[in-house]
Amino acid sequence: KRFSLRELQVATDSFSNKNILGRGGFGKVYKGRLADGSLVAVKRLKEERTPGGELQFQTEVEMISMAVHRNLLRLRGFCMTPTERLLVYPYMANGSVASCLRERPPNQPPLDWPTRKRIALGSARGLSYLHDHCDPKIIHRDVKAANILLDE
């Protein structure tokens, strides 16, 4: 689905700092609420003025859209303007493996071993799909605890 920039500005309160979920070399990720009430994570890519940048972004969106697997976050949509490149994903309320390990109450143990095993297997299955079963094959290139998101 193609979102308008206005829709995503409204959803994220004009990309307010209070809605930042994370940041990285790619840009920032914001929590947002769409007009239908659903929560999303909006990845705002850093502006890179490169020749053919729009075509490259469109190609990436198409590739990501084709990667459908139960252990991968499904792209909900995108927005592309002359100045903005945005990707819209479902919001994962349980955060990342990194946030679970870092932001737990002092008396609460870190993730138990059965949970760690489920997370590791799910991550491996998602990567295996991208590397071996997806057409075209996709290499993730940024696998880390902060990028492994948790559902229920």
Active site residues: 142
DSSP 8-class letter at 46: P
Give the C-alpha separation, 5 to 25, whole Å.
22
Tell whether residue 1 is among the known ligand binding residues: no
User: Is the bond preceding residue 136 a cis peptide, omega within 30 degrees?
Assistant: yes
Instruction: Give me 83's structure tokens.
Output: 């100045």
Residues 6+ apart with CB under 8 A from 15: 9, 28, 30, 42, 44
Residue positions forming the annotated binding site: 43
Residue positions forming the annotated binding site for ATP: 43
